[in-house]
């Protein structure tokens, strides 16, 4: 990532900590030495860590398209996720090329548990061939690990009621829209994502979602008092996970790029 893009993400730190702790961005606690702060816990490199950055890799789980292997791989400083119209997941009404989790060693990975607050920042490249659809197209999920578990939070490319392409963040458990903005201005660019989550059951959770394009904040939205925990732990996923039920004719061979993934815990 360029120095200017890193500066843009870094500028959000003060407000991001404030949102997670409930303090105004300009406020300072009486004892500043004990102020909450983001602690860097995960900073993989595509060039040196490759797919070893992730807890698991879900590359064509159904072996539907061997000629397309690998669908997920590191290229330079980026992680690339390819998807083709012929790809099928184990459930044949959908497609999935995703990675999960934050690996920190051969046998270790970070666990997001109830009561913790986590933050993920990264840049993504969404080509114009990766379109919003009338059915689901998720490019990030927060889930409880395990087969058949439901998503908790999804970042999705979705056509709205008027057919416009949007990118949105939604709390899937209770179908709460956190925020939505137009996708077209973000196509063929490198927008920056800043996602924060307090893992909490019932009404104890919260999320914040920031998208920046260059120096422009495209959206900065949050929800508090929401359910962000099912059981065990929360695990992030990235890639392309989409339904074949799209009715807009938007499905085509495409890809997604991610770079500069960072994971922080509020301590």
Per-domain boundaries in the chain: 3-266
Note the CATH architecture for domain 3-266. Answer: Sandwich (2.60)
- The per-residue pLDDT for 76 is 98
Question: What is the token pair recorded at 144?
Answer: 């409880």
What percentage of the chain reaches a pLDDT higher than 70? 87
Task: Give 129's DSSP letter.
Answer: T
- The per-residue pLDDT for 13 is 42
Report the candidate in 261, 259, 237, 260 with the shortest Cα–Cα distance to residue 57.
237
- The per-residue pLDDT for 36 is 87
Tens of pLDDT, residues 96-121: 999 999 999 999 999 999 999 999 99
Question: Distance between CA atoms of 191 and 126, rounded to whole angstroms?
Answer: 9
For residue 16, report the phi and psi dihedrals to the nearest 5 degrees.
-65, -45
Average pLDDT over residues 59-73: 98
Question: What is the token pair recorded at 256?
Answer: 């997604």
- The per-residue pLDDT for 7 is 43
Q: How many angstroms separate the first and last alpha carbons of the chain?
A: 26
Tens of pLDDT, residues 197-252: 999 999 999 999 999 999 999 999 999 999 999 999 999 999 999 999 999 999 99
Average pLDDT over residues 77-94: 98
- In contact, 190 and 212? CB cutoff 8 Å: no
Buried b / exposed e along 130-164 (16+ C-beta atoms within 10 A): bbbbbbbbbbbbbbebeeeeebbbbbbbbbeeeee
Question: Distance between CA atoms of 3 and 47, rounded to whole angstroms?
Answer: 18
Buried b / exposed e along 85-120 (16+ C-beta atoms within 10 A): eebbbeeeebbbbbbbbbbbeeeebbebebebbbbb
Query: Band of the pLDDT at 33, cuts 50, 70, 90?
Result: low
- The per-residue pLDDT for 146 is 87
Tens of pLDDT, residues 152-204: 999 999 999 899 999 999 999 899 999 999 999 999 999 999 999 999 999 99
Round the CA-based radius of gyration of the chain to a whole number and report it: 18
Query: Band of the pLDDT at 25, cuts 50, 70, 90?
Result: very low
Query: Band of the pLDDT at 18, cuts 50, 70, 90?
Result: very low
Q: Which residues contact 152 (CB under 8 A, 6 or more apart)?
A: 141, 142, 143, 144, 171, 172, 173, 227, 228, 229, 230, 234
Question: Distance between CA atoms of 155 and 140, rounded to whole angstroms?
Answer: 5
- Provide the mean pLDDT of the chain: 90
β 176-182/165-171 pair status: antiparallel
- In contact, 190 and 124? CB cutoff 8 Å: yes
Global pTM reads 0.88
- The per-residue pLDDT for 3 is 41
């Amino acid at each position: 990532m360029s120095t200017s893009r890193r500066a843009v993400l870094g500028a959000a730190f003060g407000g991001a900590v404030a949102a997670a702790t409930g303090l105004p961005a300009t406020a300072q606690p009486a004892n500043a030495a004990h102020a909450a702060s983001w602690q860097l816990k995960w900073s993989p490199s595509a060039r040196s860590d490759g797919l070893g950055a992730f807890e698991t890799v879900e590359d064509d789980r159904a072996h539907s398209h061997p000629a397309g292997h690998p669908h997920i791989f590191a290229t330079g400083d980026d992680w690339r996720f390819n998807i083709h119209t012929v790809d099928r997941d184990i459930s044949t009404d959908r497609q999935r090329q995703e990675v999960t989790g934050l690996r920190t060693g051969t046998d270790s990975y970070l666990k997001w548990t109830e009561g913790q607050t986590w933050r993920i920042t990264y840049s993504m490249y969404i080509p114009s061939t990766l379109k919003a659809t009338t059915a689901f197209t998720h490019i990030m999920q927060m889930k409880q690990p395990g087969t058949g578990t439901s998503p908790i939070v999804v970042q999705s490319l979705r056509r709205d009621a008027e057919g416009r392409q949007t990118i949105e963040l939604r709390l899937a458990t209770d179908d709460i829209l956190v925020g939505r903005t137009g996708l077209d201005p973000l196509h063929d660019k490198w927008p920056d994502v800043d996602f924060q989550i307090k893992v909490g059951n019932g009404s104890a959770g919260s999320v914040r979602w920031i998208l920046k394009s260059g120096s422009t904040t495209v959206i900065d939205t949050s929800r508090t008092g929401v359910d962000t925990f099912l059981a065990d732990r929360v695990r992030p996923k990235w890639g392309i996970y989409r339904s074949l039920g799209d009715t807009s004719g938007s499905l085509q061979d495409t890809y997604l790029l991610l770079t500069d993934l960072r994971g922080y815990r509020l301590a």
